[in-house]
Structure 1
């Protein structure tokens, strides 16, 4: 205390230091502030169990897209679990009159953990795809790990496909052609599309629905042993994350992450007659996708498999730079696949 009855600068500095130390101690003792696992750039998990998602948290409402004329709406199909889909209907003036539309069920990417069917990235992509292909789009909002570990996302996605084939919802019932159902997805969504196709193929879907094709865009597949030039260090990180997403897993040769594993169902069991596998030259998942394509052709599967490669590009580049020439070419290739008779 100085002559004027106030604290000296030295005393103030001590008090500030004490307050900072106290704050840090409180923070260290607060499980809601202490990070247990940092999985940047996707999420952080705190000791309290709180999950902080670092990307894919923005949402766009459904409605009519002024750029494409595509209309969208959200439909709750399992109120108990809070499961919903976002439906997309193109401007019918630009489609073949009085003709039902192919139905594309789309599973979003995001390492299973981030993004939603309402994310700007996926809302905008579905608007573009639906407008260009003149299809009925169904974007699935599945539950995500770590709050809802796998196989929740697979179960929810299969439930969405069943709903599509059984619902009396007006857009689907009046405009959708259930004889031309396609399953599609990118990254983790491509993994889901493959798994759902196998599971749906083992049952009789409602409405006489037929899964005509499968579109796997940079699908998330891996395995215990590296292929070709795969980075073992990257593989170790995938192994650690996969065990978090899918508790009780056998590891990276679990058929859910490695469709070429010894115990995985034969690719010849895919129920569709056409498959498009899209890869990017600089994507670390590329070699797995190419191996999937080659194994499918060797499996005895009686269908047409197509491999589309984008030279010089990274993982899901078309979502990050949708107006580039290569992204437009890729969209065109997917449209051609969906609309081929």
Structure 2
């Protein structure tokens, strides 16, 4: 890691890049219309993936979308499918390629709800899964083969949900978590890395990265434990999680502005005895797999192999 603390690239306006405006009360106005694909719960619909939305916490306006492969209904098999609790989007294609059930969590957003609000929502989702009477999860999900997964900011949430679940195991049983999947997870620190100093990520310029931390952390400190996994209680909690036998997969690219933070995370987990494997491609950028179908397919192969290697019969 570099000890330099270079400023963000002033040529990129982070508010314009994210298409947001900051309001006087500390909230933001989101100018970009996020596509909202309606669920397709009707089995008569020809889609290969069925989905339905269920409220999680109405007072927090959080909810869950469950994705179920149609063939699970068509084959009427007694063999249940692994469950992925997922923090991000782009679930339908992953559902088809991995042949799993996905519970995607719509968590509260910053800056209106700064961290740890999203971590609280993650734990609430795990508790909901273990207590729900939902027929899709009851009939088709193998709760003894559960995986927590997240991409980008969702990777950060998944990681912290893992730490909490490991120390509050009574709150998630009978879910048995077999693995943690982190795709280009979002971590940082006060010291600039070489990846940050290069500042050539088209999706996540340094000024944008800085602003997102500024809007999400409870205090302005890039060495806060929510940002930097090497500080606070995180390292000690990792030692506890290794006893549970969870496996971890970290996937990314060396062209990602967050690459060196991800490398440091892998090193930390290995030092603490956690069973972790990593796969970092050359070049690329933050979220590259979401923009190129061939890369997405290749990513799904990596994910499927990891899940299959972690399942317990």
- Place the TM-score, normalised by the shorter chain, in its bin: 0.7 to 0.9
TM-score (norm 2): 0.82
Corresponding residue SS for 2:86: strand
Q: Structure 1's 83 and 315: CA in aligned 2 closer, same or farther, altered over 3 A?
A: same
Offset at 1:76?
Answer: 0.8
Deviation at 1:255, TM superposition (A): 1.0
Q: In the alignment, which residue of structure 2 is the partner of 1:208?
A: 174
Q: Which has the higher contact order (CA 8 A, sep 6+)?
A: 2
Structure 2 residues without counterparts, runs of 5 or longer: 1-12, 200-204
Report the number of matched residues. Answer: 285
Indicate the structure (1 or 2) with the bigger Cα radius of gyration: 1
User: C-alpha offsets along residues 29-54 of structure 1, whole Å, 9 cap, x if unaligned?
Assistant: xxxxxxxx962322211336562214
Match of 2:215 among 221, 239, 244: 244
- In the alignment, structure 1 segments of 5+ residues that lack a partner are 1-36, 109-121
Please give the residue correspondences for 1:1-341 in structure 2 after superposition, counting only pairs within 5 Å.
39-42=15-18, 43-47=20-24, 51-55=28-32, 57-63=34-40, 69-91=48-70, 92=72, 97-108=77-88, 122=89, 125-203=90-168, 204-231=170-197, 238-239=209-210, 241-248=212-219, 251-261=221-231, 263-266=233-236, 267-270=238-241, 271-301=244-274, 303=275, 305-321=276-292, 323-324=293-294, 326-340=295-309, 341=311
Aligned partner of residue 231 in structure 1, secondary structure: helix
| In structure 1, distance between residues paired with 2:288 and 2:119 | 25
- Return closer, same or farther for 1:69/1:236 CA change in 2, 3 Å cut-off: closer
Cα deviation code 1:206-234 (max 9, x no counterpart): 44211110000000000112345542987
- Give the RMSD, CA atoms, in angstroms: 2.6
TM-score (norm 1): 0.76
Contact 2:253 2:284 in 1 (8 A): yes
| d(CA) in 2 for partners of 1:192, 1:56 | 23
Distance 1:216 1:272, change over 3 A: farther
> C-alpha displacement at 1:296, in angstroms?
1.0
> For the residues of structure 2 that align with 1:86 and 1:219, how far apart are their CA atoms?
22
Change (3 A) 1:168 1:48: same
Q: CA deviation at 1:332?
A: 1.0
CA distance in 1, matches of 2:265, 2:77: 38
